[in-house]
Structure formats: structure tokens, C-alpha cells
């Protein structure tokens, strides 16, 4: 197969048997559930664009294993051009969906596991990389969506995994058998988990010897027996149950997060890529985080393009587009957005080859990229809200606009520029609300802060990789200081 069609992807999800709870009820059909469906549409777009000759260069790649054309989300980066195309693809996806399209985490996970598993095998004589390649071949051939699962609930942050009052607050091995392992615990904030075919689990932090049971990486079918999902709430999510389209802002696309619970999940040894090798847990976390922090220089920029366009439309519809301060705010939004993109491209262009042959981004610049993402989208969102005006959050409902009696009143008093239909103004204001405050804020505003690690996590990596001693040496040479 190598490349699934969008229709084949949707049909593949219908054949899965997820155990999902949403708002206290079991969801039997997640594909058609009105709250979940928009997020599936976003993933579906990754399959649709790969079929489009116009976007083939960005959306597809050539497998280094088979030589076949595959979806770039299933690709192991082979050079810096691949890394750059990844960021450009993510910007395109953000532009097309205005939301989180969810396959980035799995792409970043396979690239991190590839090099770390290779290095483990080389030093320890394990067979992890061999197992991983077998899984990767299946992933590429079947064009699978894989959920990268790293973040544990963590409980009391002042305590290590093994010293928690409840040891299951970090995902761990509870039993090793001849044919596999048994896993218990959970992964939180799992992006697109219910739109995925498989999950790829990784440790959430650098583990020590005493916490070696938590140094764990494996794959499992997303609907495997022993996996339970509890769907995460988003602001304004129940608007999707109302049957309208204006008030949701972005009716077609969205993202989702879920709590993924492992209740004595059995994993065959052939699907295990790390089991107790705590010395390599830090490298896996660091590389995955680096790849994922690079990703934000693409996806958030694409959604930012949509938000900037919506703000510009709002200014047009409000009759304020010619005001100098509006023009200046739009320029500032574009400047900030392109700054994020520049960081994503820079860390890609400065990438280097690992021992397994895949390419790793420049980790320092990737962390700088994500550190900027924790700040600049907030300013872009603030400026968009400023341009939009207060009506964005006080506007009457779509039901009122459609009402046979009061609809005419809404139409009359929510009018902006006379030549623009009131409905158009309502639609663009709801889109801005959706991206900055509503369901899409999970994939833009709030996720910009905590996705791929907290701001402090990036600052730690910047401190570690910033090579301050080298900078001191440079200053000494210029100043003529001799030790």
C-alpha cells in the first residue's frame, strides 16, 4: 500500500475497538462522534495532501528501507533537507487545518527511537533496533498513524518515580515473562491517540538505576486489550453538539488529547525497544524533545498564518483596515510568526547525522525555537483579539442569528462594513475565538506553553548546550586575559 487514501484511513479507524470514555459515557463510535470527528478530519488531511501532486514533495518521501514512496510522517530523516521539508510540511498542514493534525508526535518518536535503539544494540548487544526496523517497515507499508506517548502523570514532582505514593503514576514494567512484559501506568495529554493505529511509548524523563523499571519503550496497537482512554475536555467543546457551524469557529478541523491508561497491558518482546536500560533513557527523552520542539516551528506557524489572516479579515469587516495602528499590529504578528519559522528552519539546517544514519536537528536551536513558541503565540493571539474587538466574546449565538424574529435584529446590529454580510463577520470572529480561546487553543495558545515540555525544560537544555565556557574563552581572547 505505502500511501493510504483519506477514505482508507477513515475506514481503518472504524475497524478498531477503542475503549473510550467522554464526559462520563462510553463512546462506541469515535469516528462519527461530533466532538471527536473534527480531530479525525485533521489527521485525514495528512493522507489527503499526500495524494495531491501539488504537495507531493513535502508530504511524501522515499523510504531508506524499501525505496518506496511513503508518507513523510512515516519517514526517518536522511539529511538536513528532510528536516527542513518536515517543518515546511507542518506549516502547510497548519495552514490547511487551522488546528493540530496530530501525526507529528509519532514522527518525532520514531526518529528518536531509531538512533537510540541503534546505539543500545551497538554497545549492549541487544536486538532493539532490529525489532524497531521491523515495526517501522509495517508502519511505512501500511501508512500508519502512530501516537508518540511520553508524558506520565508524574504525581508529586519532588519525588522520583519509584518513591511516589502510587508507583503507577509513572509507566512501568510490573512483570517480565518469557514471551513479553506486563505494563501498568498511564500517559497524559496524548495528542491524537484515538485517531492512531499504534502507540509508541517512551520514558518521560532520565531514569536512574533505582528506577530502571520505568526506563521503558515499546509499541502496541492503540486499541489493545488493557488500554483505556479518557477523553480530555476543551473550552467550548460542547458547541460541537449543537449542530451549527458558526459558533464552533472551525467546524471541520480540530485536535484532541486523552489520558491513556495501561491496565496490565501485555507487550510481546518483539515490540519492546527499551526495558531497564536506564542509561539511555535520557538520550531518548532529549532527542524526542528536540525533534518535537523543532516541530513547533512549523505547525504553530501554519496555524498562526490562519490567525493572522482572520485578524486581517476582521479589520476589513470592522472598517478599520486602513488605521495605522491596525497595520502595525498585523506587521508585528507576521514578524513574530516568521521568527518562529526561522528558528524551525535554522535548527533543521544545522542538523547532523547520528550513528544509525538518521539526522538529528541542532538541539540548542530546537530548544530556542520552542522557548520562543512559549511566548510569541501569546502575543500573536493578544494582537488578534485586540484587532477583532470585544464582539468576539460577546456575540449572540448562531441560533439567534438564524431565528425568524430576532435574527433580523442580530443581523442589523452586528453589522460592520455595509458591503460585508453580517454572517461573514460573525464567522471570522468565531474563528479567532476558536484559535485563541476555544477548542483550537489546545493546539495553539495553551499547547504553545506546555507542549514538548515546559518552558523551564527548554531553558535547562539551553543552559546545558549553550557552551558558556567557550563564550568566556572568546571574551578572554578578545580582552587579552591570560589564565
Query: Within a domain: residue 242?
Result: no
Beta strands in 343-447 (DSSP E): 352-353, 359-360
Output the pLDDT for position 475: 98
- Nearest-5° Cα angle at 93, 34 to 352: 135
- Nearest-5° Cα angle at 138, 111 to 284: 25
Output the pLDDT for position 468: 97
Q: Say if residue 71 is exposed, middle or buried (CB neighbours under 10 Å; 0-12, 13-18, 19+).
A: buried
Query: Within a domain: residue 206?
Result: no
Quickly count helices (H) and strands (E) in the chain: 17, 14
Query: Within a domain: residue 40?
Result: no
Q: Which of 60, 126, 191, 374 is catalytic?
A: 191
What torsion do the CA atoms of 103, 107, 112, 117 make, to the nearest 10 degrees? 110
Q: What percentage of the chain exceeds 90 in pLDDT?
A: 98
Output the pLDDT for position 377: 98
Output the pLDDT for position 387: 98
Largest Cα–Cα distance of the chain, in whole Å?
Answer: 85
Provide the 10 A C-beta neighbour count for residue 15.
8
Query: Within a domain: residue 361?
Result: yes
Domain interval for residue 392 = 283-468
Q: Say if residue 127 is exposed, middle or buried (CB neighbours under 10 Å; 0-12, 13-18, 19+).
A: middle
130 is catalytic: no
Q: Which of 74, 100, 347, 369 is catalytic?
A: 100
Query: Within a domain: residue 20?
Result: no
Stated as kind and residue range, the H or E segment containing 134 is helix 128-142
Q: Which residues contact 168 (CB under 8 A, 6 or more apart)?
A: 184, 185, 186
* Model pLDDT for residues 406-453, shown as the tens digit of each residue: 999 999 999 999 999 999 999 999 999 999 999 888 889 888 999 999
Q: Which of 119, 277, 286, 447 is catalytic?
A: 447
Cross-strand partners of 74:
none
Q: Which of 74, 275, 299, 343 is catalytic?
A: 299
11 is catalytic: no
Output the pLDDT for position 443: 85
Rounded to whole angstroms, how far apart are CA atoms 91 and 72?
Answer: 14
Looking at residue 232, the DSSP 8-state letter turns out to be P
Output the pLDDT for position 56: 97
Query: Within a domain: residue 389?
Result: yes
Sign of CA dihedral 253, 135, 362, 287: positive
296 is catalytic: yes
- Nearest-5° Cα angle at 249, 244 to 251: 55
Q: Any idea what the CATH number is for the domain that residue 355 is in?
A: 1.20.140.10
**What mean pLDDT is predicted for residues 48-63?**
98
Grid cell at residue 323: 488605521
Query: Within a domain: residue 476?
Result: no
Domain tally for the chain? 1
* 448, 374 Cβ separation under 8 angstroms: yes
426 is catalytic: no
- Backbone angles phi and psi of 453, in degrees to 5: 105, 150
Q: Which residues contact 58 (CB under 8 A, 6 or more apart)?
A: 72, 85, 88, 89, 92
Q: In sequence order, what DSSP letters do the residues of 38-82 get, joined into one string?
A: HHHHHHHHHHHHHT-GGGHHHHEEE-TTT--EEEGGGPPP-SHHH
Q: Which residues contact 481 (CB under 8 A, 6 or more apart)?
A: 475
Whether pLDDT at 134 is above 90: yes
* 93, 59 Cβ separation under 8 angstroms: no
Provide the 10 A C-beta neighbour count for residue 342.
14
Cross-strand partners of 46:
none
Q: Which of 10, 119, 257, 385 is catalytic?
A: 257
* 255, 102 Cβ separation under 8 angstroms: yes
236 is catalytic: no
Whether pLDDT at 1 is above 80: no
Cross-strand partners of 219:
200
* Model pLDDT for residues 246-295, shown as the tens digit of each residue: 999 999 999 999 999 999 999 999 999 999 999 999 999 999 999 999 99
Q: Which of 128, 229, 278, 296 is catalytic?
A: 296
Q: Which of 97, 256, 292, 359 is catalytic?
A: 292
**Matching residue, cell 508502519:** 139
Q: Which of 9, 60, 97, 104 is catalytic?
A: 104
Query: Within a domain: residue 327?
Result: yes
Left (φ > 0), alpha (ψ -120 to 50) or beta: where does 480 sit? Answer: left
Output the pLDDT for position 119: 98
104 is catalytic: yes
Q: What percentage of the chain exceeds 70 in pLDDT?
A: 100
**CA 207 → CA 23, 148, 204, 290, 437, distances in Å?**
35, 19, 9, 18, 36
Distance, C-alpha 217 to centroid of its chain: 19
Amino acid at each position: 500500500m505505502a500511501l493510504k487514501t483519506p477514505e482508507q484511513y477513515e475506514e481503518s479507524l472504524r475497524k478498531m475497538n477503542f475503549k473510550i470514555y467522554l464526559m462520563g459515557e462510553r463512546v462506541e463510535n469515535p469516528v462519527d462522534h461530533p466532538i471527536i470527528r473534527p480531530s479525525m478530519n485533521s489527521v485525514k488531511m495528512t493522507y489527503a495532501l499526500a495524494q495531491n501532486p501539488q504537495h507531493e514533495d513535502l508530504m511524501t518521501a522515499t523510504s531508506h528501507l524499501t525505496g518506496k514512496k511513503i508518507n513523510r510522517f512515516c519517514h526517518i530523516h536522511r539529511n538536513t533537507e528532510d528536516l527542513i521539508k518536515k517543518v515546511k510540511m507542518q506549516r502547510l498542514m497548519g495552514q490547511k487545518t487551522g488546528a493540530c493534525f496530530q501525526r507529528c508526535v509519532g514522527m518525532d518518536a520514531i526518529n528518536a527511537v531509531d538512533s537510540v535503539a541503534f546505539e543500545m544494540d551497538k554497545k549492549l548487544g541487544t536486538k532493539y533496533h532490529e525489532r524497531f526496523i521491523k515495526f517501522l517497515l509495517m508502519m511505512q507499508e501500511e501508512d500508519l498513524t502512530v501516537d508518540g506517548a511520553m508524558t506520565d502523570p508524574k504525581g508529586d514532582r519532588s519525588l522520583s518515580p519509584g518513591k511516589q505514593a502510587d508507583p503507577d503514576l509513572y509507566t512501568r514494567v510490573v512483570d517480565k515473562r518469557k514471551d513479553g512484559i506486563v505494563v501498568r501506568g498511564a500517559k497524559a495529554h496524548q495528542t491524537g491517540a484515538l485517531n492512531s493505529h499504534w502507540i509508541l511509548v517512551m520514558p518521560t524523563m532520565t531514569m536512574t538505576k533505582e528506577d530502571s523499571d520505568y526506563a521503558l519503550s515499546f509499541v502496541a496497537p492503540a486499541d489493545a486489550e488493557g488500554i483505556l482512554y479518557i477523553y480530555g475536555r476543551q473550552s467550548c467543546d460542547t458547541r460541537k453538539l449543537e449542530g451549527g457551524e458558526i459558533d464552533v469557529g472551525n467546524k471541520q478541523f480540530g485536535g484532541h488529547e486523552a489520558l491513556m491508561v495501561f491496565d496490565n497491558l501485555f507487550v510481546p518482546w518483539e515490540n519492546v525497544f527499551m526495558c531497564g536500560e536506564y542509561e539511555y533513557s535520557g538520550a531518548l527523552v532529549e532527542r524526542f524533545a528536540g525533534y518535537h520542539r523543532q516541530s513547533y516551528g512549523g505547525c504553530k506557524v501554519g496555524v498562526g498564518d490562519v490567525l493572522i489572516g482572520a485578524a486581517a479579515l476582521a479589520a476589513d469587516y470592522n472598517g478599520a483596515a486602513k488605521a495605522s495602528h491596525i497595520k502595525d499590529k498585523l506587521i508585528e504578528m507576521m514578524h513574530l510568526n516568521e521568527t518562529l519559522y526561522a528558528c524551525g528552519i535554522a535548527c533543521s539546517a544545522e542538523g547532523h547525522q547520528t550513528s544509525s544514519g538518521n539526522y538529528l536537528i541542532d538541539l540548542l536551536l530546537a530548544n530556542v525555537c520552542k522557548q520562543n513558541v512559549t511566548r510569541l503565540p501569546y502575543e500573536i493571539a493578544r494582537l488578534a483579539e485586540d484587532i477583532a474587538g470585544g464582539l468576539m466574546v460577546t456575540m449572540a449565538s448562531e441560533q439567534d442569528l438564524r431565528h425568524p424574529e430576532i435574527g433580523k435584529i442580530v443581523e442589523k446590529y452586528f453589522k460592520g462594513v455595509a458591503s460585508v454580510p453580517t454572517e461573514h463577520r460573525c464567522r471570522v470572529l468565531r474563528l479567532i475565538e476558536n484559535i485563541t480561546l476555544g477548542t483550537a487553543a489546545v493546539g495553539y495558545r495553551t499547547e504553545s506553553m506546555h507542549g514538548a515540555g515546559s518552558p523551564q525544560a527548554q531553558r535547562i537544555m539551553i543552559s546545558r548546550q549553550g557552551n558558556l565556557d567557550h563564550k568566556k574563552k572568546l571574551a578572554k581572547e578578545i580582552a587579552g586575559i591570560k589564565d
